[in-house]
Structure 1
């Protein structure tokens, strides 16, 4: 039996605009969290360009958790402060050992291995924090002025 953890958010914890959702670390969570992020971007009245960038970044980071870790769940946190949208993906697992044999960087013909490069192209170099409790990958997406701001 598969159970899915409920979504939480948006809240005002730590950022004026914040949305958080935790799901099972399964392939179906990738499109679900991409849609969740898109709905938050729409609610916050950010641009379509931002929505597209967030969709790519969230899909890449959540896919990394689903494919490359032993985590049972994945948490997506979005928060807007001033002109920055922070995207953070957390897991409670460890990298699978077979992934450490991959060449770095991935060859051009590889089907995978370029996820963080794609994230960096959309938002900037992601920060990766690995601890015994899991891994957090975060990146900041610069925003142009939002409606109602200077």
Structure 2
């Protein structure tokens, strides 16, 4: 009796693993290739450095499913891409179009690099113009000589 109870409990624990939603088997290989081609052009909004085709994040899985549904309905790649951009913005595309709202996405890294180099060059130029050792005033020199004289007497 104990073994049957344990077997039923183990089977109940395994049920969530069976609840996953795999892609329907009626989909053709060509359709799945098209879904993956579109998914490689879209950025995972959770991972950000990975396409939704390769991401395992739940949002990426949902977006791939949305693409599958739209492909099954007969929408074109451009219509699907327009839907995703309308919903998530141009950032969702790996290669956003060049327009006023995406200028920073295209040129931001180059601008930040140029600004960093300019700041570095200005800093180095200012530093080169300054002497490494500042001259001592007469009062500082007398104080240093007194300290040196005092320390030499304490060693004797």
Higher strand proportion (structure 1 or 2): 1
Q: What TM-score do the two structures reach when normalised by structure 1?
A: 0.25
Query: Which is greater in Rg?
Result: 2
RCO greater where, 1 or 2, for CA within 8 Å and sep 6 or more? 1
Bigger helix fraction: 2
